[in-house]
């Protein structure tokens, strides 16, 4: 039985015996005892005072006496004002460790009744440039959150909405027409997304030159931006695309394929995937019908110029346009339709959008408008808003080509991992194949861990060298600890030391070992909270705390050289379980852990 459930039942029995009343179960509130106090679980006594009719300290003491006398697992207690701190006997913790070793997916919810189907959208790139550091945070967050939610027994579907239409796509297409000289990824030797991104930057460079000339000729900057020949040509190309002009559509398909093929390589290298990919070119008209229905119902309104709007003033927002006067869609219209389509496709209970915090307003509006249109499931749309990723030298700008390219970053992380590993002698004795595999695992692990350990809501600064430090709260530190544990297991095998299937609950263990078991006991609750909060950072920081505890234990205790057989076997058993938790937690972050380092 779960220890907290057992304690709750024990307190109910204690109250019935001591005060001859059955307490409301909601009044029995347990929490983990704070680190600066003795104890494992703390009962908040105040809600029980109306039953005991006694002061909080007296009530807590009476309950403590009863529980210590009648519950074998409770070995001691102390009272701090209205809080009863209960200490659990070491034999319980040893038995607990022994039992969880038989659970292949310890901490995961199994056979959940009525599991939900939850959609999580992430990545959502534009097909006019390669993925960059900001996309990396988005992809890592989305992929990890999907895995974390799945630990709670729900069905998770990972989807991607590719923004493959619009003026920004036409800018790259037009620049290729003007300055590309029929270049292709094959001819250039470049990944397709990089090649197309070069033309997006080229467009911006030439566009700025035209604006500067028009301003020098006496136009205002705003006028120049609208009248520059390049932007007008790009707008004309967009009109041709919407009119399905064969030549424009053919070029669009070719360049989109270049980019999408390039994205697939990056996704594979990053270790993320999707169950379904939606394309804006297929979904951008879906919302028009919903808007027209909303107009008929009177929940939307039309202005004199024919444009359709939602009035959100009662919700504390403004008016939001949903259809332009010429009947064309805006981004919000598309998102209305796509949300409806995905609910239809998957019969989903919830949808989570992993999108930067600059889109908070957009998703507030999306949720409200869907509600106005009569879709009750709109209440189950959630925006996982995350902060931007900056570099030590400042922000990135796509148009100016100053972003950190995802492919370059992944390659650079591997190179840095190799350099640091060689300096520290961590690659000695490995074959070239093994070295390549190890440095790739370290480099990618360092990148993922450094990004995911930060609360998603916070803006973060990414420092590649700091992320590959083998000390501190980093991926390599965690990976090295796992490799150390696997080395210990190999030594045990070499010396024919077999781990027991069940531990002797009378084995004498130290406070550090006890603390490690208690840390392991926190893992299921950590998974639950991380899923509720959509926060991989909670997993990362839990693992770091566990790893710190283990390394202190490893430093202070003999393991293979311990003479007492029971203690030696217990320490090996404990080490193995710590390794299993590290591996499990890191997998939820999308990070591999090497057996050797």
Question: Quick one: CA torsion of 305, 310, 314, 315, rounded to 10 degrees?
Answer: -140
Q: What's the rounded mean pLDDT across residues 228-243?
A: 94
| 402 pLDDT more than 80 | no
DSSP 346-398: H--SEEEEEEEGGGHHHHHHHHHHHHHTT-GGGGGEEEEEEPPEEBTTB---T
Give whole-number Cα distances, 458 to 360, 396, 404, 589, in Å.
14, 17, 19, 18
Q: Give the percent of the chain with pLDDT over 70.
A: 98
Of 392 and 458, the one with more pLDDT = 458
- The Cα 169–Cα 189 span in angstroms is 22
| Residue 400 predicted with pLDDT over 70 | no
What pLDDT sits at residue 394?
A: 52
Share in percent of the chain as helix, strand, coil (round to 5)? 60, 10, 30
Written as six digits, the tokens of 243 are 């009119």
Question: Is the pTM here over 0.85, yes or no?
Answer: yes
**Which residues does 309 contact at the CB level (< 8 Å), separation at least 6?**
300, 301, 302, 303, 319, 320, 321, 322
- Tell the CATH superfamily of the 117-390 domain: HUPs (3.40.50.620)
Distance CA 279, CA 13 (A): 59
Using H for helix, E for strand and C for coil, what is the string for 40-101?
Answer: CEEEECHHHHHHHCCCHHHHHHHHHHHHHHHCCCEEEEEEECCEEEEEECHHHHHHHHHHHC
Higher pLDDT, 35 or 278: 278
| Contact (Cβ atoms closer than 8 angstroms) between residue 121 and residue 354 | yes
Which band of pLDDT confidence, cut at 50, 70 and 90, is reported for residue 597?
Answer: confident
Domain 3-88 has CATH 3.90.1200.10: no
The whole-number average pLDDT for the span 162-170 is: 93
Contact criterion met (CB below 8 Å) for 279 and 162: yes
Q: What is the pLDDT of residue 432?
A: 87
- Please give the pLDDT value at position 295: 94
Task: Give the model's confidence band at 399: pLDDT under 50 very low, under 70 low, under 90 confident, else very high.
Answer: very low
pLDDT at 203 over 50: yes
Within 8 A by CB and 6+ apart from 301, the residues are 295, 308, 309, 311
Residue 491 pLDDT exceeds 60 = yes
pLDDT tens digits along 262-319: 999 999 999 999 999 999 998 888 899 999 999 999 999 999 999 999 999 999 999 9
CATH homologous superfamily, domain 443-588 = Isoleucyl-tRNA Synthetase; Domain 1 (1.10.730.10)
Give the pLDDT of residue 331: 87
Between CA 272 and CA 269 the distance in angstroms is 8
- What would the two tokens of residue 129 be? 């440039």
Q: Tens of pLDDT along 411-420? A: 989 988 888 8
Residue 104 confidence class, pLDDT cut points 50, 70, 90: confident
pLDDT of residue 500 exceeding 90? no
Contacts of 383 (CB under 8 A, 6+ apart): 352, 353, 355, 359, 360, 363, 364
Supply 272's token pair. Answer: 């993320």
Residue 498 carries which DSSP code? P
What residue segments make up the domains of the chain, in order of their start? 3-88, 117-390, 443-588
């Amino acid at each position: 039985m779960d220890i907290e459930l057992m304690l709750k039942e024990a307190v109910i029995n204690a109250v019935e015996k001591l005060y001859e009343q059955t307490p409301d179960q909601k009044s029995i509130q347990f929490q983990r005892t704070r680190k600066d106090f003795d104890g494992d679980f703390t009962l908040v006594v105040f809600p029980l005072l109306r039953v005991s009719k006694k002061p909080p300290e007296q009530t807590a003491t009476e309950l403590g006496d009863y529980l210590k006398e009648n519950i074998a697992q409770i070995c001691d207690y102390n009272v701090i004002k209205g809080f009863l701190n209960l200490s659990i006997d070491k034999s319980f913790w040893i038995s607990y460790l022994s039992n969880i070793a038989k659970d292949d997916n310890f901490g995961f919810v199994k056979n959940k009744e009525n599991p939900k189907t939850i959609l999580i959208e992430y990545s959502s790139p534009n097909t006019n440039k390669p993925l960059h550091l900001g996309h990396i945070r988005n992809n890592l967050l989305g992929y990890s959150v999907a895995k974390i939610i799945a630990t709670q027994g729900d069905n998770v579907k990972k989807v991607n909405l590719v923004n493959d239409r619009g003026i920004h796509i036409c800018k790259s297409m037009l620049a290729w027409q003007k300055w590309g000289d029929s270049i292709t990824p094959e001819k250039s030797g470049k990944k397709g997304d990089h090649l197309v991104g070069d033309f997006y930057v080229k467009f911006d460079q030439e566009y700025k030159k035209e604006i500067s000339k028009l301003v020098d000729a006496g136009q205002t900057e705003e006028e120049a931006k609208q009248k520059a020949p390049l932007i007008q040509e790009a707008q004309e190309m967009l009109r041709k695309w919407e009119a399905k002009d064969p030549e424009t559509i053919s070029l669009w398909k070719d360049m989109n394929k270049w980019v999408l093929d390039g994205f697939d390589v990056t996704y594979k290298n990053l270790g993320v995937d999707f169950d379904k990919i939606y394309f804006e070119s297929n979904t951008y008209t879906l919302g028009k019908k919903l808007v027209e229905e909303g107009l008929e119902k009177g929940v939307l309104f039309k202005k004199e110029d024919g444009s359709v709007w939602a009035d959100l003033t009662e919700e504390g927002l403004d008016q939001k346009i949903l259809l332009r006067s010429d009947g064309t869609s805006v981004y919000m219209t598309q998102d209305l339709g796509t949300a409806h389509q995905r609910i239809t496709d998957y019969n989903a209970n919830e949808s989570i959008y992993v999108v930067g915090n600059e889109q908070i307003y957009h998703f507030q509006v999306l949720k409200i408008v869907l509600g106005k249109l009569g879709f009750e499931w709109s209440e189950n749309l959630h925006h996982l808003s995350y902060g931007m990723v900056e570099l030590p030298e400042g922000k990135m700008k796509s148009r100016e080509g100053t972003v950190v390219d995802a492919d370059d970053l992944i390659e650079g992380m591997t190179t840095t991992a190799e350099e640091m590993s060689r300096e520290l002698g961590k690659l000695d004795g490995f074959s070239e194949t093994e070295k390549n595999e190890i440095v790739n695992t370290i480099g990618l692990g360092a990148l993922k861990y450094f990004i995911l350990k930060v609360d998603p809501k916070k803006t973060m600064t990414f420092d590649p060298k700091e992320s590959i430090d083998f000390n501190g709260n980093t991926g390599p530190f965690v990976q090295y600890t796992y490799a150390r544990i696997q080395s210990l297991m190999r030594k045990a095998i070499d010396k024919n030391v077999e781990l027991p299937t069940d531990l002797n609950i009378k084995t004498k263990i130290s406070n550090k070992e006890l603390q490690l078991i208690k840390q392991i006991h926190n893992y299921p609750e950590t998974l639950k909270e991380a899923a509720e909060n959509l926060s991989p950072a909670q997993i990362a920081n839990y693992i770091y705390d566990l790893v710190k505890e283990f390394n202190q234990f490893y430093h202070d205790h003999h393991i293979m050289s311990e003479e007492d057989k029971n203690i030696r076997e217990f320490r090996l058993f404990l080490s193995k379980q710590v390794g299993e938790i590290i591996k499990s937690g890191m997998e939820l972050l999308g990070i591999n852990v090497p057996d050797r380092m």
